[in-house]
Amino acid sequence: MQNRLTINDIARLSGVGKSTVSRVLNNEGNVSPQTRERVLQVIEQEHFSPSKSARAMRGFSDKIVAIIVSRLDSPSENQAVRAMLPLFYQQGYDPIVLESQFSAERVKEHLQVLKQRNIDGVVLFGFTGLSAQMLTPWKDKLVMLARDMPGLSSVCYDDAGAVQLLMQKLLAQNIRSIGFIGVSAHDTTTGQRRSEAYRAFCQEHHLTPHIALGELTYQSGFELIPQLLSRKIQAVICASDTIAIGAQKYLQQQQIRDVQVCGIGNNPLLHFLFPESLSVELGYGAGGEAAAKQLLAQLDGSATLQQLMIPGQLAV
Amino acid sequence: MQNRLTINDIARLSGVGKSTVSRVLNNEGNVSPQTRERVLQVIEQEHFSPSKSARAMRGFSDKIVAIIVSRLDSPSENQAVRAMLPLFYQQGYDPIVLESQFSAERVKEHLQVLKQRNIDGVVLFGFTGLSAQMLTPWKDKLVMLARDMPGLSSVCYDDAGAVQLLMQKLLAQNIRSIGFIGVSAHDTTTGQRRSEAYRAFCQEHHLTPHIALGELTYQSGFELIPQLLSRKIQAVICASDTIAIGAQKYLQQQQIRDVQVCGIGNNPLLHFLFPESLSVELGYGAGGEAAAKQLLAQLDGSATLQQLMIPGQLAV
DNA sequence: CTGTTAGCGCTTTCAA
DNA sequence: TTGAAAGCGCTAACAG
């Protein structure tokens, strides 16, 4: 698969100078139709394609972006990544995918490598523990997803709004004893923001909060919901659909049918298994898309730093 | 994040020639310790790192590999990819991730782009419809996963073995009326091979086959299992855990407790939701790891083409 | 419209 | 042990 031929060979083969070939390659106007035709033909014939490295060296961009996910198997991140890919391909960018495993240290390493590569841009899935210091140098070519940081472009999900949406819906059904299963505040978005929104809503509407915190796993939902049941809740809001699945599993096993389970994420599996659940679509796909668009816009100079928030909506 | 400094600047700053800097950079021996020390210090101070493109142009490899998955959200592919990543990082390779969406055409496009990039190697997640013709040019730097093809390196999962493992286990429990929910033979591995293995096993052991074919979704499992129940099966083998989840859901809903459900893939969610299920771990992680290792070995010349098969095993 | 020329940042002879 | 010089494949002035 070596690309043995160079622009020189093509020039020779079609009897023109290499700059002419270059012009043809870059679709510049000032080439006579016949010459262009001839060159194109040779290029086609020889299956020639110009070396990216060489043009990269000429100051052209390498057309590579990086996507740093925390875990590739997180459904939300997965969905966001899949939404970005076509947008990048379409603009001729190839995405390098890197996993941070929620380690700031690893992000640092990755950025180090990316720097050598003269990468064009980065989409970083944010998580708690990332320092502004290591990111600001990248600000012009970086978009952070799922978290924001002063002086950085970002696309966030509306964590608080999602919780409110669910709470309102429950209130409207005249359900006032509502529990919450979340994750530790160590996690800013899924943890802190959603718990906080729950607390605030309870206070504002004079509801007694019932909170249980654990991990972002179905096991956690399964194990924590009994605590809440002992407080006679009529409904429970889970900080994620994964947790909700765990909670539902417990209720099903105990044959408890009068507790409304709510989740966040609109995971299709939750709906399939427990159609009676309520979930909020946070817009992971839309988030990925927005992040990619924002990055592309930043790269071609048509946009400056910007913090976006993707609205969520109740899933049907 | 522009890498403004060049090897020249470093040379100037440390009062040596650029070739010396180059030598230091490449850890060549013929540099006096003091000089080396001085240069390293400047490099460190200026946060200099050499441009990949430039060295790529000098014939050096760009240290980029591509991973062409069919769908990033397939749990099996996901798991395999995650297993590869660290291996590639460790060897200094950065992986570009591309989705084929099961379209041979798209694979072709991607390979086209990769060629321009002078990519080092490719891991391709195989699917039905790929033509040998478009892949053979890549044979030295390509490993196919989940499918094999003459003249190409590949890592396969033991589809037939997985089915046999399950069937044997059932037979040992004296269960002889066994159904099968699969997907159409259009899909070579999950479809054809697993169905075929089921059929063959039935024939060999004088069992009556009961087959229902649909798609690779939980809905499909849910919808198809009734057909099989009408044939009074005692157990059902599902071509994937996803299907198994659907089947279990139906059984649960109908309160049917005497049908043993088996799946393939060892999906943790299946075990969590329906611990009574039986599943075979096909070794997706091991497969990804094997594919990455094989590719790396091929690239550094320490291995030739090779077809591997990852053995499956019953999950506990 | 087209060819010539001079680099991009790096590695690699070849002399010193 | 070092530096000077010659490219790698390409683009971008600058002349024709």
pLDDT tens digits, A214-234: 999 999 999 999 999 999 999
CA atoms of B253 and B247, how far apart (whole Å): 10
Nucleotides of D under 7 A from a protein CB: 1-5, 7-13
**Residues of chain A with C-beta less than 8 angstroms from the C-beta of B3:** 115-116, 118
Q: Note whether B164 and B277 are same-domain residues.
A: yes
- Which pLDDT score, from 0 to 100, does residue B26 have? 86
Check A82 against B75: CB less than 8 A apart.
no
In whole angstroms, C10 C1' to B34 CA is 23
**Count of domains in chain A?**
3
Q: Which of B67, B78, B222 sits opposite A73 (nearest CB)?
A: B78
Question: Which residues 168-197 in chain A show a CB within 8 A of chain B?
Answer: none
Q: Note whether B174 and B201 are same-domain residues.
A: yes
- Which pLDDT score, from 0 to 100, does residue B197 have? 98
pLDDT band at B3 (very low <50, low <70, confident <90, very high): low
Check A137 against B1: CB less than 8 A apart.
yes
- Which pLDDT score, from 0 to 100, does residue B28 have? 85
The CA distance from B204 to the nearest CA of chain A, in Å, is 37
Residue A316 lies in a domain: no
Closest residue in A to B55 (Cα–Cα): A53
Residue A253 lies in a domain: yes
Residue B187 lies in a domain: yes
- Which pLDDT score, from 0 to 100, does residue B71 have? 94
Q: Which of A94, A115, A218 sits opposite B49 (nearest CB)?
A: A115
CA B240 to chain centre: 16
- Which pLDDT score, from 0 to 100, does residue A221 have? 98
The fraction of chain A above a pLDDT of 70, given in percent, is 99
User: Which range is most confident: A25-39, A181-195, B113-127?
Assistant: A181-195
SS3 at position A69: strand
Q: B244 to each of B146, B180, B212, how far by Cα in Å?
A: 20, 10, 13
- Which pLDDT score, from 0 to 100, does residue B118 have? 80
Domain residue limits at A82: 64-157+284-311
Check A73 against B56: CB less than 8 A apart.
no
Residue A222 lies in a domain: yes
Q: Which residues pair with A130 in a beta bridge?
A: none
Q: Note whether A177 and A238 are same-domain residues.
A: yes
Residue B85 touches partner A, C-beta closer than 8 Å:
yes
Q: Which of A57, A218, A273 sits opposite B249 (nearest CB)?
A: A273
Residue B2 lies in a domain: no
Residue A53 touches partner B, C-beta closer than 8 Å:
yes
pLDDT above 80 for A155: yes
pLDDT (mean) for A190-213: 97
Closest residue in A to B71 (Cα–Cα): A82
Q: Note whether A164 and A277 are same-domain residues.
A: yes
- Which pLDDT score, from 0 to 100, does residue A2 have? 52
Residue B250 lies in a domain: yes
- Which pLDDT score, from 0 to 100, does residue A183 have? 97
Check B53 against A53: CB less than 8 A apart.
yes
pLDDT above 70 for B306: yes
Q: Note whether A73 and A218 are same-domain residues.
A: no
pLDDT above 60 for A306: yes
Residue B81 touches partner A, C-beta closer than 8 Å:
yes
Check B85 against A94: CB less than 8 A apart.
no
Q: What digits encode the pLDDT tens for the residues B256-288? A: 999 999 999 999 999 999 999 999 999 999 999
Give residue for tokens 């399950």. Answer: B166
Phi, psi of B261 (to 5 degrees): -100, 135
Q: Classify the C-alpha dihedral A130-A136-A141-A145 as positive or negative.
A: positive
User: Which range is most confident: A27-36, A37-46, A306-315?
Assistant: A306-315
Q: Note whether A146 and A251 are same-domain residues.
A: no
SS3 at position B19: helix
Check B3 against A75: CB less than 8 A apart.
no
Q: What digits encode the pLDDT tens for the residues A177-196? A: 999 999 999 988 999 999 99
The fraction of chain B above a pLDDT of 70, given in percent, is 99
Average the pLDDT over each of A113-117, A222-226, A254-258, B273-277 and give the range with the smallest value.
Answer: A113-117
Residue B98 touches partner A, C-beta closer than 8 Å:
yes
DSSP state of A312: P
Taking a C-beta distance cutoff of 8 angstroms, is the pair B308, B154 a contact? yes
Q: Classify the C-alpha dihedral B305-B306-B307-B309 as positive or negative.
A: negative
Q: What digits encode the pLDDT tens for the residues B68-105? A: 999 999 989 999 999 999 999 999 899 999 999 999 99
Check A72 against B82: CB less than 8 A apart.
yes
pLDDT above 70 for B2: no
Integer distance in angstroms from the first to the last C-alpha of chain A? 50
Q: Note whether B84 and B94 are same-domain residues.
A: yes
The CA distance from B168 to the nearest CA of chain A, in Å, is 30
CB atoms within 10 A of CB A28: 12
Residue A276 touches partner B, C-beta closer than 8 Å:
no
Taking a C-beta distance cutoff of 8 angstroms, is the pair A247, A238 a contact? yes
CA A230 to chain centre: 37
**Helix, strand, coil percentages, rounded to 5, for chain B:** 50, 20, 35
Q: Note whether A210 and A298 are same-domain residues.
A: no
Q: Note whether B143 and B209 are same-domain residues.
A: no
Check B72 against A62: CB less than 8 A apart.
no
Q: Note whether A210 and A166 are same-domain residues.
A: yes
Q: Note whether A164 and A273 are same-domain residues.
A: yes
Q: A112 to each of A94, A138, A310, B139, how far by Cα in Å?
A: 19, 11, 30, 32
Q: Note whether B95 and B139 are same-domain residues.
A: yes
pLDDT (mean) for A152-169: 97
pLDDT (mean) for B198-218: 97
Residue to mutate among A4, A26, A52, with most B CBs inside 10 A, is A52
**Residues of chain B with C-beta less than 8 angstroms from the C-beta of A137:** 1
User: In terms of C-beta density within 10 A (0-12 exposed, 13-18 middle, 19 or more buried), how is residue B58 classed?
Assistant: exposed
* Lookup: nucleotide whose C1' is closest to B49 CA: C9
Report the mean per-residue pLDDT for chain A: 93
pLDDT band at B202 (very low <50, low <70, confident <90, very high): very high
Phi, psi of B67 (to 5 degrees): -120, 115
User: What CATH number does residue A275 fall under?
Assistant: 3.40.50.2300
CA atoms of B241 and B217, how far apart (whole Å): 9
CA atoms of B275 and B269, how far apart (whole Å): 9
Q: Output the 3-class SS for A84-102.
A: HHHHHHHCCCEEEEEECCC
Entry pTM: 0.88
User: What CATH number does residue A48 fall under?
Assistant: 1.10.260.40
**Residues of chain A with C-beta less than 8 angstroms from the C-beta of B120:** none
- Which pLDDT score, from 0 to 100, does residue A148 have? 93
pLDDT (mean) for A156-180: 97
Residue A127 lies in a domain: yes
pLDDT band at B49 (very low <50, low <70, confident <90, very high): confident
Pairing of strands A278-281, A307-310: unpaired
Check B57 against A51: CB less than 8 A apart.
yes
pLDDT (mean) for A256-273: 96
Residue B26 lies in a domain: yes
- Which pLDDT score, from 0 to 100, does residue B55 have? 86
Query: Order of strands across the sheet with A260-264?
Result: A210-214, A178-183, A235-238, A260-264, A278-281, A313-314
CA Rg value for chain B = 26
A309 CB neighbours strand D below 7 A: no
